[in-house]
Amino acid sequence: MTLPDINASVVAPAELTAGFSNAYFYTGADGAMVCWAPVTGGTTSASDFPRCELREKLNPTDNSINWLAFGTHVLDARCRVTQLPSTKRVVIGQIHSYLGDAPPLLLLVFNDGNIEGQVKLVSTSSNNVTYALGPVALGKDIQYQIQMRDGVVSMTVNGTTRTVDVFATDPAWKTQTYYFKAGAYCLDNEGVSTEGAKVRFFRLNVQHDTACVILNVSTDPARCCLTWTSEPGNQYYVQGATSMNQTQWFTLSANLTAHGDTISYCVPLPSPYRYFRVGMVTP
């Protein structure tokens, strides 16, 4: 979690799990998880605005391990915006990319009583395209779901859904990895310390259904064999790396067409590669 204190401090997963709370992040009398970001709060180097915001981490110790756009990834929440700054805007959920310049792909914005999905259709563009998701009054329930499924982004707010295929608008999104964010990202930085954005969460869930799952790894002196789940007709490939610290992975196989619900590939040994992963060619 990033806090809006003067240093824009980061709270580690272990601290959150142990029950961390302070003036910006606490449990309200109604049982809500409250995120408060005053306009005078500190900011991260990548933003001009303060935030009290959770960041999804698949591995609590490593920010670089995130999910691919393939498969199905869902953030489901119920919240209420109970205070707004002078600009009347606060981000309550995000799909954020990690690689390269790491632009946010989707911002779910409460904008003066209306919910908007702001999607960056082209990864290198400075502009977002806005999708209207309906009016919600201050203090009223917002049940939202943001989802990425094989490159298709969907935004649902109180039953209204909008979708966009970002692989079609910019194939570069295929090479990114992603994580969800949720909280109060206050889109204002001017005013007194009592002015800001407050969001109360009553539900916040994340679910990932990956495009394939490695079921088994077996070795003998001559080879290392991987078996993973597959969909008939889809094509997969195996990549290797010599170290988990390197950013470049090397493709070790040709494209492998699946004919059943599992598929295997064997890497000849000895091999300089010690880490392996399976990728899927875009259907």
Between CA 221 and CA 271 the distance in angstroms is: 11
CA angle 260, 266, 269 (to 5 degrees): 175
pLDDT of residue 163: 98
Render pLDDT for 120-169 as a digit per residue (tens, 0 to 9): 999 999 999 999 999 999 999 999 999 999 899 999 999 999 999 999 99
Question: Is the pLDDT assigned to residue 234 strictly greater than 90?
Answer: no
Whether 13-209 shares its CATH topology with 214-280 is answered no
Beta strand 223-229 pairing with 214-220: antiparallel
Between CA 100 and CA 26 the distance in angstroms is: 33
DSSP states of 56-83: --SBTTBTT--EESSSEEEEEEEEEEEE
Domain spans of the chain, in order of start:
13-209, 214-280
Render pLDDT for 204-227 as a digit per residue (tens, 0 to 9): 999 987 767 788 899 999 999 999
pLDDT of residue 282: 67
Question: Is the pLDDT assigned to residue 246 strictly greater than 80?
Answer: no
Q: Peptide bond preceding 270: is omega within 30 degrees of 0, i.e. cis?
A: yes
Q: Which fold has domain 13-209?
A: Jelly Rolls (2.60.120)
Q: Are 133 and 155 in contact (CB under 8 A)?
A: yes
Render pLDDT for 8-23 as a digit per residue (tens, 0 to 9): 999 999 999 999 999 9
**Bridge partners, residue 165, by sequence:** 152
Mean pLDDT computed over every residue of the chain? 94
Question: Span 214-280: which CATH code?
Answer: 2.60.40
Max mean pLDDT range (69-73, 101-105, 117-121, 261-265): 117-121
